[in-house]
Amino acid sequence: MGTPELAAHILERLIAESGETFLVVGVVTRPDQPRGRGQKPQQSEVAAIAEKYRLATLKPSKIRTPEFLAQIKAFEPDLLVVAAYGRILPNDLLAASRIMPINVHASLLPRHRGASPIEGTILSGDRETGVTIMRVVEKMDAGAMIHRRAIPIADDETTGSLKRKLAELGADALLEALEMFQTGSVVETPQDESLATYTKIISKADATIDWSKPAAEIERTIRAYDPWPVARTALGGSDLMIYRARVVESDDGAPGSIVSIGANPIVRCGADGLELLEVQSPGRKRMRAGDWARGRRLAAGDRLGS
């Protein structure tokens, strides 16, 4: 049960490893959604993989119905495997698996429960992250942990780059957990609720930069919202999207003001400054921030943000 690219990679790894010890008997994903300029309905990344391997696929718009429960039970599943499905599953559905419903969560639980654990990890400035295989319960990411794998976070890590790493790590961890089920070595470890933190669904509004915040926090925001929704600021009545930046020492000017141009523009923040490295104007390609600033004829004292 899953929807986006991360879940699709895990599904494809499962299919590649299936055979003598386990078998993927069915797939559940979100209904087709309008996408792109034409807003034509397109299937999810998971649905595309399921179609490629001709797997039985369900795309329910509602999951709390007798009809959907009957469809799940018809698969006679030993395990329900959930990865970024995006819905809290009801207890009667969780009970449909003979052994256990399990989830591949892209954080080291109990830290960063919820819808955007990868973005939350970068925003928080964590030095490591990973994946947790845990029992699914009818409470967001609160079930007992079965298996965890950790990796360090690079200084220039973006959500896009980290998501690719965690998709691979998640597939590895899931296969290791399946082996634990086969050998009877599964041990469930309850989560420490006092350590739990939560993330929310990301919206485009979250990506608007508040220049009164410290430069280090803004720099993490830029990496957390790459590739979507992309950190942005106002300039001349339109958005300027920022893809890469570097924290530098600065104590001049008001937050949002350009304090110097040089090789790249430096913007004053609530604490320190931010050297813009790569930006994109509406309708243009991504480019070096210094070239963009010279093309716009920006000067020290010009202001970003509203």
pLDDT for residue 260: 94
Identify any residues that bridge with 280 across adjacent strands, giving them in sequence order: 241
Output DSSP code: residue 18: -
Using DSSP's 3-state secondary structure scheme, residue 203 falls into coil
Separation of alpha carbons 220 and 241, rounded Å: 15
What tokens does 269 get? 């923040």
Separation of alpha carbons 252 and 108, rounded Å: 39
267, 211 contact by CB (below 8 A) = yes
pLDDT for residue 39: 86
Superfamily name and number for 5-199: Formyl transferase, N-terminal domain (3.40.50.170)
Closest C-alpha to 110, from 139, 88, 142: 142
N-term to C-term CA, the chain: 42
Separation of alpha carbons 143 and 9, rounded Å: 23
pLDDT for residue 275: 98
* pLDDT tens by residue, 27-53: 999 999 988 778 899 999 999 999 999
245: enclosing H helix or E strand: strand 238-248
Cα–Cα distances in angstroms (integers) from residue 175 to residues 23, 78, 169, in the given order: 12, 15, 10
Using DSSP's 3-state secondary structure scheme, residue 260 falls into strand
What tokens does 100 get? 């256990």
| Domain ranges across the chain | 5-199, 204-296
* HSE value, Cβ hemisphere, 13 Å, CA-based, for 1: 23
Task: Per residue of the chain (306 residues), give pLDDT as tens.
Answer: 999 999 999 999 999 999 989 999 999 999 999 887 788 999 999 999 999 999 999 999 999 999 999 999 999 999 999 999 999 999 999 999 999 999 999 999 999 999 999 999 999 999 999 999 999 999 999 999 999 999 999 999 999 999 999 999 999 999 999 999 999 999 999 999 999 999 999 999 999 999 999 999 999 999 999 999 999 999 988 999 999 999 999 988 999 999 999 899 999 999 999 999 999 999 999 999 999 999 999 999 999 997
**Token pair 């990868």 is at which residue?**
118
Domain 204-296 CATH assignment equals 1.20.1260.10: no
pLDDT for residue 203: 96
* pLDDT tens by residue, 127-166: 999 999 999 999 999 999 999 999 999 999 999 999 999 9
Closest C-alpha to 29, from 49, 12, 54: 49
Kindly report the backbone phi and psi dihedral angles of residue 43, in degrees, each rounded to the nearest multiple of 5, phi listed first: -75, 160
